[in-house]
Amino acid sequence: MLLVGSILIVNNPFAVAQDADLTTEPAPRKSDGLALDALFAEQHIAESGVLIRDRARSMSRQRAFKFLTDWVLPNDQHSGFRVTTDYVASSPQSSARIVSPAIQWIRLANELKKIDEIRTAISQSRIHSQRDQCDQSALLALLAIEEGSITLAGELLEQFFSLALSDANLLHETRQAILLCADQAAQSPELSLIVRDSAEIVTQHYLKEVHRTAWHRHFWATHATLHVQSQRHVNTLHSSGLYADELDTTQWHRVSRSSAFENGNGFPSAKWYITAGSARKMSTHGDDFLFFASPLQGSFDIETDVTGFGYRDTQLMIAGEWTGLIYDHRHYAIGNISGELRRVPLDLPMQDVHSHGSIHIRTAVRETEATTFYNARPIHVQPLTPHRDPWIAVRSSHNTRGGVDDLRITGTPTIPDTIALVTSADLSEWYDYFDTRTAASHRLNDWKGTVETHPSGDTATEITDARATELPLGSSAERLLVYSRPMIENGSIEYEFWYTPGETIAHPAVGRRCYLLSDEGVRLHQLTDGRYERSALRSDNASEILGDQPTLNLLADAWNKMQVEVTGDELRLLLNGQLIHQTVLELDRLERKFGLFHYADQSDLRVRNPHWTGNWPKQMPALDEQDLAVYATAELDRTAEDLPEVFVQKIDEQSILDRKFTVVSGNASADVRLSDDGVRLSRDGNEGYSGTLLGTVVDVGGDFDVVLSYDQLEYKATPGKVASIQMYVRAANEYTDVGAVQCTKGRDDKFSVQCLKMQTVNGEDRRHYFGRHPTEATAGRIRICRRANKIYYLHAENDSTQFQLIGEEDFTVEDLQDLGIQFGVQVQGTDGYSRARFKKIEIRAERLGGLVTESADAMLAKFNGQREQLPVSFHCDFSTTPLDTNDFHTWGSLSDWDRSTGGILVDAVGSDKWTSAGISLKHVIHGDFDITFAFQANQLAVPKEGDYTQVFLQVETSDVDRMQFNAMLSKSPRDAIVSQGQFRTRNGERYSYNRMGSLGITSPDYLRLLRRDTKIYIYAGVESEKHEYLIGSTSAPGVPLAPFGVRMMLHTGGSDRTSQMLVKSLDVKAQQLTRLEVGQIANPGTRTITPRTPKPSTPPTKSLPTRIIESVRGLFQ
């Protein structure tokens, strides 16, 4: 097309007119111009922009103005406007840019003060189509921009884009005018804001174009400029940081894989938008990268969220290799600097994460391998050598615009002074500047690498490129191998090359400047773009001998040592220790890529042991100093260290027995498995929600930071239901604020981690789920932090040391409730299950208290000592003394006292309604108390589904809320027996029942319930072991216990079954104990207590439906 375009221009008198008198030129024939116009539809015109520009430059200004007027405006030679764009390649002096004769014409008219003249000419031109109308509007808008009439330009641009975007075909026809208008508007902050949204529409229209031309890439670059300009303008207008400020980072360098194809086609430089904690590629040059400033060796982790899918795919390149998930979620790609190498099938498809838009990637680099995880699933293991490629980069390919968020580098990396430039035989760090755009595995053409490790441990490397004998000698076939990372800092690259006169040589190159070595001296060769070269530059171009060095000390048939040194903007070349050339580099630092050059038709190339000693940063930035890391996470780590109170506890069998944790939901015998390596919680599904939860027996006040470790996570969700593990905190404020982190298999059958914030308002639970992130982690850490009135939710996958911030919310500053930190598993639906092992919890807070502050043995000894100090005692041994009705009230089926039975037999006949049989104490108890109930469970019937068979020691307060506290031995329908603690609270007209704890003590001899100040404690004792186990504790009012408020009772769950217990003794120690006589007022001024059957201690049917949070509250009985 370029050749055709050139021929047409030559045959067009307007194109070839020289700077001569117009009257000497033959008048063009109307029929010739219109015929060409009709025949070729001016397909050549767009690619003629550079030639037209150069023609106009060769003329006088007046002549050029006439020439460009005739070229742009409709006339006898062409029927429409010519609002076109062409593109020129980058050079050492300038970057690739847009060329437009229309813009050249408008600027020349402004210089000649002929703006009004051309405005009239544009306005009066005949309009034949909507395309003409669009071009006319574009030219008028461009005129206004040139004049600086911002208001008028804004109105005209809105008119132009409104018309151009009204039809997809029209958009495509006028795309060059669209580019020009957007490019010129981008020079003004006000106009950028006007044009930005229209440019976004155009960008989305061409999003799926795989083969992106210079127009596409320049428009993407223009759109990026519009985006940045408009954001800056908005910040200026509002005097606020509505948009994050762009970061001038020195830790990450913008680098592109620029070859003859990209440069020759005039592709613009890639534009990256980098802010604190985030980087986005806004426009593309080719395959574009962000290189970390320092090479890294040693062991370290890189962790980040990369954008994915929707042409936003982004990868991490480590040790010369990158991996990326393919859109089908069934394969992943492996590639290097040259591009994609191959695709690998996944054992199981990744879950669809299109809707989330990002993938959490972590690569763990160790001595011999690097393991990459996608959303916590191990995907790829890359073998590593001791001399691996040390560069880390973020990669975004030529047809994507992606980025990263919260990129962290942690571990123990080392930064070397010197690195090898060849680390593998596939030369993964290098690319061929003249690659043939074939598969990446073939893009190095005949370039080859070898790596040999000697017994001494030393490594020898070599790069070779054979002479192309099929090429005719003298064709000057350029070959350049480019090292991917530029020489940004001061430094020196050294290597040896083999020299045989006329046969083998290697010339150094920096950027597009090649320094040709010969016995006569050094000549400068300006690299061409091969078949993509648009200028007249020849491939055999070479300067005269540089400098005063008459000859070079090249050693024939031997290895010669070459040094390429860069200091500031100065380049020095040394051959065998002798300075042979010194010059100033007129190159941007990011363009200073080192290369090896030769003419393939003239010589072979052999280079060995290239290495680079650079003045790159030698100190790894701390996490809170890393530009792409999210600072909020590092700040949470820092402030956590300032919290004065610390509780760190391994979760294992001993910690459960020591009552550092208590089972607050689920079956302690069937669903809790204790070991020295952790506590495994499980729950199989049934109707509604069910769960198994442990509570931490610690009081927490002020700011806090809680970290929970887990592994062996397995869950299965019933279709349309949920299975999860979770940790939550619950505050003691008016609305019972709850914050939770949940790892779930959701209703959409996807794995994720998410946040929950819940409040109870007027008895209704209001839940807000947010911050959902895909994850397939089977192990990790959950973290919840409160700082002032904010709560933060975090998660770390598998063995990662780094937490991912997944959400934050407002939260009360009130202390947490009793058992206010709970964790466990949960499942909904009959076919699901959830299982996980919990290993460790770390709690830091401004204030810590509760049972965890002292050992279980010390606490029990303290309570026993306090019991002996209580002044009032009441003891009844039913094995030797019959029941005294002055002291006790009975209900249900009790046997007559018989000394031979050893106590009083109580039989509880089951019913489908809640019933019980038992004994209550006719005493009012004031102040602290300590009550022990000794019994023998002769027969505990297996209850019906949904019920329990239970032995109770129960106390009830005398205040209006009538709180109950229960020490229980409980048998489930699965025939599992546990010892439990429970309390009842009042919520309006309804009661709620809460688990205090549960322990797999299956055959206790006695239950013990005691109050100290405003705390209730529950124990279960085994006489044969001479041991008492703390089941749980909770806050309690200091009011007296109600008359008949101490009860020993038995409940059988379900009809057609009976249970039996033997009541052996009751021992009461208290500050005050008063027996009630018949008709005595129990609570003067309130009411008279009549003996009655106690209310059920298990929950009655609730009016509220089954809810998620009920599992958190222990309603799984």
- pLDDT band at residue 444 using 50, 70 and 90 as cut-offs: confident
Report the distance separating Cα 803 and Cα 777, nearest Å: 13
Q: Which amino acid is at 731?
A: A
Report the distance separating Cα 407 and Cα 643, nearest Å: 27
Paired sense of beta strands 699-716 and 833-849, if any: antiparallel
Least confident range from 239-248, 541-550, 734-743: namely: 239-248
Mean pLDDT score, 482-492: 96
Question: Does any domain span residue 626?
Answer: no
Co-location of 405 and 285 in the same domain: yes
**What's the confidence (pLDDT) of residue 207?**
86
Average per-residue pLDDT for the chain? 88
Report the distance separating Cα 159 and Cα 141, nearest Å: 9
Q: Are 580 and 552 contacting, i.e. CB atoms less than 8 angstroms apart?
A: yes
| Res 242 pLDDT > 70 | no
Contacts 24+ apart (CB under 8 A), 377-386: 377/350, 377/776, 379/323, 379/325, 379/332, 379/346, 380/323, 380/332, 380/334, 380/344, 382/318, 382/319, 382/321, 384/319, 385/423, 385/424, 385/451
- Which stretches of 754-869 are DSSP H helices? 856-869
Q: What is the CATH number of the domain that holds 815?
A: 2.60.120.200
Mean pLDDT score, 941-958: 94
Tokens 């079954």 identify what position? 1057
Q: Which residues pair with 333 in a beta bridge?
A: 324, 343
Q: Are 425 and 324 contacting, i.e. CB atoms less than 8 angstroms apart?
A: no
Q: Are 92 and 81 contacting, i.e. CB atoms less than 8 angstroms apart?
A: no
- pLDDT band at residue 854 using 50, 70 and 90 as cut-offs: confident
Report the distance separating Cα 8 and Cα 44, nearest Å: 8
Co-location of 956 and 1068 in the same domain: yes
Co-location of 395 and 459 in the same domain: no
- pLDDT band at residue 462 using 50, 70 and 90 as cut-offs: very high
Across 59-196, the runs of DSSP E, i.e. the strands, are 86-88, 97-99
pLDDT digits (tens, 9 = 90+) for 746-755: 888 889 999 9
Q: Which residues pair with 362 in a beta bridge?
A: 303, 373
pLDDT digits (tens, 9 = 90+) for 222-236: 999 998 888 887 777
Report the distance separating Cα 1034 and Cα 1028, nearest Å: 18
Q: Distances in Å between the alpha carbon of 1054 and those of 823, 893, 947, 973?
A: 31, 16, 7, 10
State the DSSP code for 314.
-
* pTM: predicted TM-score of the whole model, two decimal places: 0.82
Please say which residue of 208, 238, 268 terminates a domain: 238
Domain total of the chain: 5
**What's the confidence (pLDDT) of residue 633?**
84
Q: Are 73 and 66 contacting, i.e. CB atoms less than 8 angstroms apart?
A: no
**What's the confidence (pLDDT) of residue 568?**
94
Please count the other Cβ atoms lying within 10 Å of the Cβ belonging to residue 168.
Answer: 9
State the DSSP code for 1105.
P
- pLDDT band at residue 1001 using 50, 70 and 90 as cut-offs: confident
Co-location of 688 and 807 in the same domain: yes
Report the distance separating Cα 885 and Cα 1075, nearest Å: 11
Question: Does any domain span residue 813?
Answer: yes
pLDDT digits (tens, 9 = 90+) for 92-139: 656 788 999 999 999 999 999 999 999 999 999 999 999 999 999 999
Question: Does any domain span residue 10?
Answer: yes
Report the distance separating Cα 524 and Cα 262, nearest Å: 23
Q: Are 950 and 1051 contacting, i.e. CB atoms less than 8 angstroms apart?
A: yes
Co-location of 216 and 80 in the same domain: yes
State the DSSP code for 43.
T
DSSP string, 515-564: EEEETTEEEEEE---GGG--SS--TT---SPPSS-----PPTTEEEEEEE
Q: Are 926 and 1040 contacting, i.e. CB atoms less than 8 angstroms apart?
A: yes
| Res 210 pLDDT > 80 | no
Q: How many CA atoms lie within 13 A of 723 on its CB side?
A: 24
Tokens 């809707």 identify what position? 355
Q: Distances in Å between the alpha carbon of 406 and those of 304, 310, 603, 623, 777?
A: 5, 21, 49, 11, 19
CB within 8 Å of 682: residues ≥ 6 apart: 671, 673, 692, 825, 833, 834, 835
Tokens 């001993």 identify what position? 654
Question: Does any domain span residue 860?
Answer: no
Please say which residue of 824, 853, 882 terminates a domain: 853
Question: Does any domain span residue 420?
Answer: no
Q: What are phi and psi of 231, to 5 degrees?
A: -65, -40
Question: Does any domain span residue 247?
Answer: no
Paired sense of beta strands 723-731 and 738-745, if any: antiparallel
Q: Which helix or strand (DSSP H or E) is residue 849 part of?
A: strand 833-849
Question: Does any domain span residue 623?
Answer: no
- pLDDT band at residue 161 using 50, 70 and 90 as cut-offs: very high
Burial call 539-572: b when 16+ CB within 10 Å, e when fewer: beeeeeebeebeebebeeeeebebbbbbeeeebe
CB within 8 Å of 239: residues ≥ 6 apart: none
Identify the CA nearest to 984 among candidates 994, 975, 976: 994
- pLDDT band at residue 1110 using 50, 70 and 90 as cut-offs: very low
**What's the confidence (pLDDT) of residue 362?**
96
Question: Does any domain span residue 981?
Answer: yes
Least confident range from 126-130, 134-138, 545-549, 934-938: namely: 545-549
State the DSSP code for 309.
S
Q: Which amino acid is at 327?
A: Y
In angstroms, how far is CA 832 from the centroid of its own chain?
29
**What's the confidence (pLDDT) of residue 89?**
82
Co-location of 279 and 344 in the same domain: yes
Report the distance separating Cα 984 and Cα 129, nearest Å: 82
Q: Which helix or strand (DSSP H or E) is residue 949 part of?
A: strand 949-957
Co-location of 989 and 1028 in the same domain: yes
| Res 240 pLDDT > 70 | no
- Give the 3-state secondary structure of residue 860: helix
> How many percent of the chain have pLDDT more than 70?
90
Co-location of 73 and 181 in the same domain: yes
Q: Are 79 and 67 contacting, i.e. CB atoms less than 8 angstroms apart?
A: no
Co-location of 847 and 876 in the same domain: no
Co-location of 944 and 1019 in the same domain: yes
State the DSSP code for 1083.
B
Positive or negative CA dihedral for 799, 804, 807, 808? Answer: positive
Q: What is the CATH number of the domain that holds 288?
A: 2.60.120.560
Report the distance separating Cα 983 and Cα 956, nearest Å: 10
pLDDT digits (tens, 9 = 90+) for 26-64: 555 555 555 555 544 455 676 788 899 999 999 999 999
**What's the confidence (pLDDT) of residue 435?**
85
Positive or negative CA dihedral for 205, 210, 214, 220? Answer: positive
Number of residues that this document lists for the chain: 1117
Contacts 24+ apart (CB under 8 A), 535-538: 535/89, 538/476
Co-location of 401 and 466 in the same domain: no
pLDDT digits (tens, 9 = 90+) for 788-809: 999 999 999 999 999 999 999 9
Tokens 């975004």 identify what position? 396
Q: Distances in Å between the alpha carbon of 1102 and those of 760, 832, 992, 1115?
A: 16, 24, 9, 10
Mean pLDDT score, 852-858: 81
Report the distance separating Cα 502 and Cα 1065, nearest Å: 111
Identify the CA nearest to 432 among candidates 530, 288, 542, 327: 530
Residue 844 or 19, more confident: 844
Co-location of 837 and 706 in the same domain: yes
Q: The domain containing residue 210 runs over which residues? A: 2-238
Please count the other Cβ atoms lying within 10 Å of the Cβ belonging to residue 232.
Answer: 16
